[in-house]
Structure 1
């Protein structure tokens, strides 16, 4: 029996609210399936499962806020009977948990026109915002409850009448995704708390190297010549791929510090995204080392709008092994990052700008980027950090091999 727990989506998370179950008891689960939506300071997160089995019991009801690590459900992987598993009280000390199916009534049930309608809080919120008559919907969630997917399908079909009995226009079908000021403030506070902890507990050391981007920029320009605008590459995709290559050569930086150095087999690079409403979020580009530059660009184009709309998956927030922060055009020349625990390093790229650069006794003007590395002195030292920056520079001088 597998205990499915409230995941830890970063050092800045202590608890999460179970907003909606996406799967029902008795349903077969596959690795990567979305089992639930959880509300955190980083917004509404789709929670994935990483095991195969049958959903045996739901232990936490929708709308309930619980600490990280709380058992949310049991997944039967065929290796043990329910009767053989320990009781919920034994699994989560000082926490009283009862299976949802044993409860008399859940808070998302509502009496409407003499008939009980079961609907999740999230689905109700979306329905009210879009004037969807929930009495006309058929629920596909647990015990026939109406869930987010049911409401979204009704909106996309445009077949559900509004409260005024009119059809919705194309413009009004959009589900509002603009993050609230409260969400942005909560995220900023969460990030600040994590960075305060990082600065207090992690012994940082910093290294810096100026890198010639002439070959890399020429390669990007040449590659983009025959491409439509939507398929063109940005220099940041090349930087991310070069970092992944360098981490492959210097694996001590692709790690976490948890009771000692824990090297990671996969290279999942966290990419800092600034939010329009303020603050940042750091989704991961999963398996960056196995992706091409084009695939990394596609992933960035997908991640950034979802991150800014607070619509990320749990794996994208919890599986980063190293972080990149990039200033981009019109920004500062240098950026010195703080390590996001439990990671052991972060690399910062300043603006790529024309600067004097000497090579082989000749001085010229070239596109230069100032690269900084902040690393955990418990895990590595300056020699290892220097090897990483040298490897990164080597790959940027050979962009055609990335």
Structure 2
């Protein structure tokens, strides 16, 4: 029997509030499926299941605050099918072929005689309905009641085969045809909790836009669609947290600021930072970007941020000493480059969800993934794996007008990359003075894991990649 526990969704998380169950006892869940919604000090996150199996029991009711590692539910793994015992071979099957023992010419094989032709199978006679003389002339034999029912239910009498005398269409024929052509109401994909809430609040699920997996309707969608003032919080057994789940924005912002302050205080206290910066010539990158966007549709166009993020991810692959974690007094390299992207939230504060395997994504794919990640971060629909898997973080404040940013490392990571605004600067290129677009790239790194030489190698790789954008 496996346990589904409260996960750690960041270095600053010690506890979380279970807001909602997305699966219930008796349901089959797969590894990676979101099964619960958890509220942390920073955001509301959908938590994925760690294994495949059947949820047998819920141990924590919605609305409960529990520490990280607390069992939330029991999951029974799928039973393995017993292997069928091998059927023993008979003595005849174990006996070798007669010619296997003898050497020399194998026995001649006579071609098999053609099998006798099978006896013809008698075909049963199929009765054929012969239309009546009235039907052959185009007239439908039906009484006034049958015609009235057909008109009301939209049944075409010409398509019916009457069961009455002489092929006459009866009332029963019309009613059966009407029942057969009636289309059942569409089945709306929704969680069990959402269906119960919809019944209690009088919400028609067909009118609700789902935000869950495969557009499934969740409990939060039903509450938003509920008419009139907010309904009182349902009891705990319904599967949703009580009223405290909807914190006032001021209290939630204050809690987030406290969590960020505690984490940054710890980072500044425990991590010996060193800082490096370089100015990157962006003329090749911007020239390539303008040419790409001119030849692309609106949906395929890129922003400079896509090039910066891809260069940061590729450089992390080339310099793996900066891509990983400092835990238990030693460095552990990350399994893949999962690029954390600092996202400012509309209500204040920030989160840094991860673009998984960002170094392997093509630029259009990375641009799409970035857009979706920012949207989910600002609407509270992040997944647990997206907020806990980042191996190196990038903060890009260029859209805010900042030219240089030195960030604080997000523990247990060992590096943070900063990009400012792309600006035109006078500079000398090949002995000639001109105006070129440039960007300032910075690195904040953990001196316990690396030193300045490694950091300089990383920033050099970023500059080289941005000056050769066709390699990204």
Same fold (TM over 0.5): yes
Aligned counterpart, 1:285:
355
Aligned counterpart, 1:323:
393
Aligned counterpart, 2:335:
265
The question of whether the paired residues in 1 share the 8 Å contact of 2:272 and 2:448 is answered with yes
Change (3 A) 1:330 1:56: closer
Q: Distance in 1 between matches of 2:409 and 2:267?
A: 6
Q: Distance in 2 between matches of 1:35 and 1:295?
A: 27
Change (3 A) 1:161 1:9: closer
Q: 1:185 pairs with 227, 232, 254, which one? A: 254
Q: Distance in 1 between matches of 2:468 and 2:256?
A: 38
SS at match of 1:149: coil
TM-score using structure 2 length: 0.65
Pairing 1:161-310 to 2, within 5 Å after superposition: 180-259=249-328, 260-310=330-380
SS at match of 1:320: coil
Matched, 1:368 2:368: no
Aligned counterpart, 1:134:
200
Aligned counterpart, 2:217:
149
Aligned counterpart, 1:174:
none
Q: Distance in 2 between matches of 1:251 and 1:4?
A: 32
Q: Distance in 1 between matches of 2:287 and 2:257?
A: 37
The question of whether the paired residues in 2 share the 8 Å contact of 1:179 and 1:277 is answered with no
Deviation string, structure 1 residues 184-215 (Cα, Å, up to 9, x no partner): 23222211211111001001111111100111
SS at match of 1:189: helix
Q: Distance in 1 between matches of 2:384 and 2:54?
A: 20
Q: Distance in 2 between matches of 1:194 and 1:9?
A: 13
Matched, 1:55 2:125: no
Deviation string, structure 1 residues 192-243 (Cα, Å, up to 9, x no partner): 2111110010011111111001111111111111334343211111111111
The question of whether the paired residues in 1 share the 8 Å contact of 2:56 and 2:74 is answered with yes
Deviation string, structure 1 residues 330-379 (Cα, Å, up to 9, x no partner): 52210001000000000000111011223333332111111110011111
Change (3 A) 1:136 1:192: same
Q: Distance in 2 between matches of 1:212 and 1:70?
A: 51
Task: Single out whichever of 307-316 and 62-71 deviates more from structure 2.
Answer: 307-316
Q: 2:469 pairs with 386, 399, 402, which one? A: 399
Q: 1:397 Cα deviation (Å)?
A: 1.0
Q: Over aligned residues, Cα RMSD in angstroms? A: 2.9
Any unmatched runs of 5+ in structure 1? 81-118, 140-147, 164-176
Q: Distance in 2 between matches of 1:182 and 1:67?
A: 21
Change (3 A) 1:199 1:154: closer
Aligned counterpart, 2:383:
313
Q: Distance in 2 between matches of 1:71 and 1:223?
A: 51
Q: Distance in 2 between matches of 1:184 and 1:135?
A: 30
Task: Single out whichever of 288-297 and 344-353 deviates more from structure 2.
Answer: 288-297
Q: Distance in 2 between matches of 1:153 and 1:14?
A: 29
Aligned counterpart, 1:16:
16
Report how many residues are paired.
Answer: 334
Aligned counterpart, 1:168:
none
Q: Distance in 2 between matches of 1:225 and 1:178?
A: 46
Q: 1:277 Cα deviation (Å)?
A: 2.3
Any unmatched runs of 5+ in structure 2? 81-191, 206-215, 230-245
Aligned counterpart, 1:357:
427
The question of whether the paired residues in 1 share the 8 Å contact of 2:52 and 2:78 is answered with no
Q: 1:133 Cα deviation (Å)?
A: 6.2
Aligned counterpart, 1:38:
38
Change (3 A) 1:291 1:34: same
TM-score using structure 1 length: 0.76
- Greater share of residues in strand: 1
